[in-house]
Structure 1
Amino acid sequence: MKKFVYIVTDRNRTSLHAGMSADLIKTLAFYKQMPSLFFDSGQQLTRLVYFEEFKTEAQALSRFKLISRFTRMQKERLVRSCNPDWVDLTIGLDFEHIMSNKVINTQVQMPLGIMS
């Protein structure tokens, strides 16, 4: 099973958070749906700016522990090394799968009389 180590940030890049997950898409959905319980709306961690994929949990945990100890400057350098424009990488993650599920769900929910 795949494991991911990632860095998310808010729209102003004021906070950088490193995390580890077995289901990156589900984890990111949680961040986006999470109410402003811990952060104000400007600081919600909704932008995936860096991630690595690992084959084992031990590898991911080792890398996560390392990145978690990074200073902010080291995390910024890591992000810039592969994502210099700080683009939200969520858009490219499993995009085709997400879109095909939306199409299937839309077709299933449409009444038969409306479909042409």
Structure 2
Amino acid sequence: MKRYVYIITDRNRSSLHVGMSADLLKTISFYRQMPSLFFDSPGQLSRLIYFEELRTEDAALQRFNLISKFTRAQKEKLVRDVNPDWLDLSLGLDYEKMILSASLPMRIKKAA
């Protein structure tokens, strides 16, 4: 089963939170429903700015532990290397999920 290690931030980029999940879209949705879950700041952690897909839970846990120990500057460099504009990557994941779910019934109809 795939696991994800991710970094999420608020719209002001004032907080960077590292996490690990088996279902990235569900996790991002949870963050959006719970605005002040981890921090006292009013900023809602809702922007997925970095993620890695790993094959095993052990590999994900090791990577999570490593990134969690990074300084803010190291986390920012990690994000900027793959997402220089700090775009919300969850928008692409939502789109990909919609495309996959829309094409699934078509595949079933063709097979019948």
- Superposed pair shares fold, TM > 0.5: yes
Which residue of structure 2 lines up, in the alignment, with residue 55 of structure 1?
A: 55
Deviation per residue, 1:42-90 (Å, 9 max, x gap): x111000000000100000000000000000000000000000000000
Give the 5 Å matches for 1:81-100: 81-98=81-98
Give the 5 Å matches for 1:25-36: 25-36=25-36
Residues 67 and 99 (structure 1), Cα distance of their counterparts in 2 relative to 1, 3 Å cut: same
Q: Separation in 1 of the partners of 2:24 and 2:90?
A: 9
Q: Separation in 1 of the partners of 2:11 and 2:17?
A: 13
Query: What is the root-mean-square deviation of aligned Cα atoms in Å?
Result: 1.9
Which residue of structure 2 lines up, in the alignment, with residue 71 of structure 1?
A: 71
Q: CA deviation at 1:100?
A: 7.0
Unaligned runs of 5+ in 2: 103-112
Unaligned runs of 5+ in 1: 103-116
Percentage of matched positions with identical amino acids? 64
CA contact (8 A) 2:5 2:51 kept: yes
Q: CA deviation at 1:94?
A: 4.3
User: What is the aligned length?
Assistant: 101
Q: CA deviation at 1:5?
A: 0.1
Structure possessing the higher radius of gyration over alpha carbons: 1
Q: Separation in 1 of the partners of 2:100 and 2:65?
A: 36
Residues 62 and 33 (structure 1), Cα distance of their counterparts in 2 relative to 1, 3 Å cut: same
Name the aligned partner's letter for residue 4 of structure 2. F
